[in-house]
Structure 1
């Protein structure tokens, strides 16, 4: 069976920056209130760009960085929960824009856990021989589903996209797969804790305290299990990239894992919560800034609506 690896990454964010001070002029809030509760300072908001625009921009950068031809791509999947288009899929539109001919293309909606779920799905497909190279994208335009009158949620959300080219190869590092075994699941009994409901104009809503308690008390053992399945101790990781939901959640998880000295993504400060885009967006930025060593084991772990989670250890490209 072939091994898989992330061959290249790319990301894209809209130009428009929305600050906490901007939001304080829209709803009853303040920069201090937002920073204390979420750690967020700014977020990007797309004015004209669509989810497809964001996804295609990030995917195009990843494809260019991989050195592959569009014809080499056999699978395109976009993780998103904010797409306005039901059919054709965002993935099919991205494939069309990039000139990818004949690839299987589909969207995957697992809320904020979408990208790592899609990465595992592509990993399994490539290992089974269904394709040799895949484009895996997380893209969200959360501003389309934001209630801009709700101060508890509008301060959280941002727009953006991140993408990875995943490749299968024979042999490779005998000690560790480039994409480790996934740990994933859901707790549908608490599915309404994070939700996007409504036929044509859904709005993001959540039970903040429920999500915070769940994330800070129940996710650390799942992260440890993902590390165990990959054969690496949390303290030996080169980096940790969790869903960028809230800086307080990220800091709590890091404390529970006792991973002093490990590079931890904190892109939520600048980008807000970009749902399924947050993990690939944060990972791509860390790699671009050379804050992660090539070949280092990096934990990816995302969680959210469902309540769902998915995570794996990958080798940094």
Structure 2
């Protein structure tokens, strides 16, 4: 008997980002609002982080609500129907429940059912992971359009008295539609992990301990600031350069640099390490939004395009890095 030849799907050779949508928390929280519990000041927070205000969501607003708003904007801007979405990828570490996935609920809300939908837990690198997967799906013929979302309500995991990370955190969601292109719009992704540094940033205790000790504190986020800073500045600058090399471009050919909005000092040092020319516009959304983990890159992209519409069509280097430790970077053509 002749062995059957399996059929495999084959897609288009190139992809690009069609559009970006954004939704930020409905509350503006100033440094003075949070300085008291950490025995700090507006000046100290600005000098250490570059954050002036951060956007946080009220108690009635969940990460799924922010994701829906951002997704609807991205879909409308892309000029496609939700029914054309072949996959929904949501990067988040703050879904209100462990399961079902935020992505499955989002697909239903926006009318993308029965598209496959799943969450990615890659913290602040999650959006770049989602873009990499969307690019691969489309080129493999598994989808025509993919919705990639970074959505976080980190204020639910912020401890008011924590001086390591909580005062940085904001809430928001950014969404992108990725689809077929006549020319390359998403370059090769450089990504990876280093689990040996797992304790540098993350939850301060397992959820199981909270279940077993109802009188104890709810798990919250914390970090070893200096460890994360050194890793981000020195190691991630190398990854960023690798992404440029993988794309076949130089820093002089970039229109924008969009790093994860972790800390303004990290962003500034990043720019120095990469020797970015003054012509490259650097995203600094953290100043008024805060650190929104997986949502920070698409949110920063959205704001950058609003403030500098001339960047549309230009090349941007985006890089995410965070808890895991994990990282991902790629050069993309801005929508």
Normalised TM-score (structure 1): 0.96
SS of 1:113 mapped into structure 2: helix
Match in the other structure for 1:211: 228
Match in the other structure for 1:309: 327
Match in the other structure for 2:127: 115
The whole-number CA distance in structure 2 between the counterparts of 1:276 and 1:35 is: 22
Unaligned regions of 5+ residues in structure 1, if any? none
Match in the other structure for 1:131: 143
How big is the shift at 1:198? 2.2
Match in the other structure for 1:37: 48
Match in the other structure for 1:51: 63
Say whether the 8 Å CA contact 2:164–2:224 is kept in structure 1.
no
SS of 1:152 mapped into structure 2: coil
- The reply to whether residue 279 of structure 1 matches residue 297 of structure 2 is yes
Match in the other structure for 1:90: 102
Match in the other structure for 1:75: 87
Say whether the 8 Å CA contact 1:235–1:258 is kept in structure 2.
no
Aligned length: 312
Match in the other structure for 2:26: 15
The whole-number CA distance in structure 2 between the counterparts of 1:205 and 1:104 is: 33
Say whether the 8 Å CA contact 1:238–1:292 is kept in structure 2.
no
Change (3 A) 1:292 1:310: farther
Match in the other structure for 2:3: none
The whole-number CA distance in structure 1 between the counterparts of 2:309 and 2:287 is: 17
The whole-number CA distance in structure 2 between the counterparts of 1:120 and 1:185 is: 12
SS of 1:306 mapped into structure 2: coil
The whole-number CA distance in structure 2 between the counterparts of 1:74 and 1:266 is: 32
Unaligned regions of 5+ residues in structure 2, if any? 1-11, 211-217
The whole-number CA distance in structure 1 between the counterparts of 2:248 and 2:147 is: 26
Match in the other structure for 1:152: 164
The whole-number CA distance in structure 1 between the counterparts of 2:301 and 2:234 is: 24
The whole-number CA distance in structure 2 between the counterparts of 1:294 and 1:154 is: 34
Structure 2 residue corresponding to 1:181, chosen from 183, 188, 193 = 188
Change (3 A) 1:156 1:186: same
Change (3 A) 1:38 1:291: farther
How big is the shift at 1:292? 4.8
RMSD: 1.2
* CA deviation vs aligned residue, 1:261-298 (integer Å, no higher than 9, x gap): 20000011111110000000000111122355221110
- The reply to whether residue 194 of structure 1 matches residue 205 of structure 2 is no
* CA deviation vs aligned residue, 1:115-161 (integer Å, no higher than 9, x gap): 10111011111110000001000000000111112133221101001
- The reply to whether residue 251 of structure 1 matches residue 268 of structure 2 is yes
Match in the other structure for 2:286: 268
Say whether the 8 Å CA contact 2:53–2:289 is kept in structure 1.
yes
Work out which of the two has the higher radius of gyration on C-alpha atoms and give 1 or 2.
2
- The reply to whether residue 25 of structure 1 matches residue 33 of structure 2 is no
SS of 1:202 mapped into structure 2: coil
The whole-number CA distance in structure 1 between the counterparts of 2:252 and 2:326 is: 25
Name which of structure 1's ranges 93-102 and 156-165 shifts more when overlaid on structure 2.
93-102
The whole-number CA distance in structure 1 between the counterparts of 2:312 and 2:283 is: 16
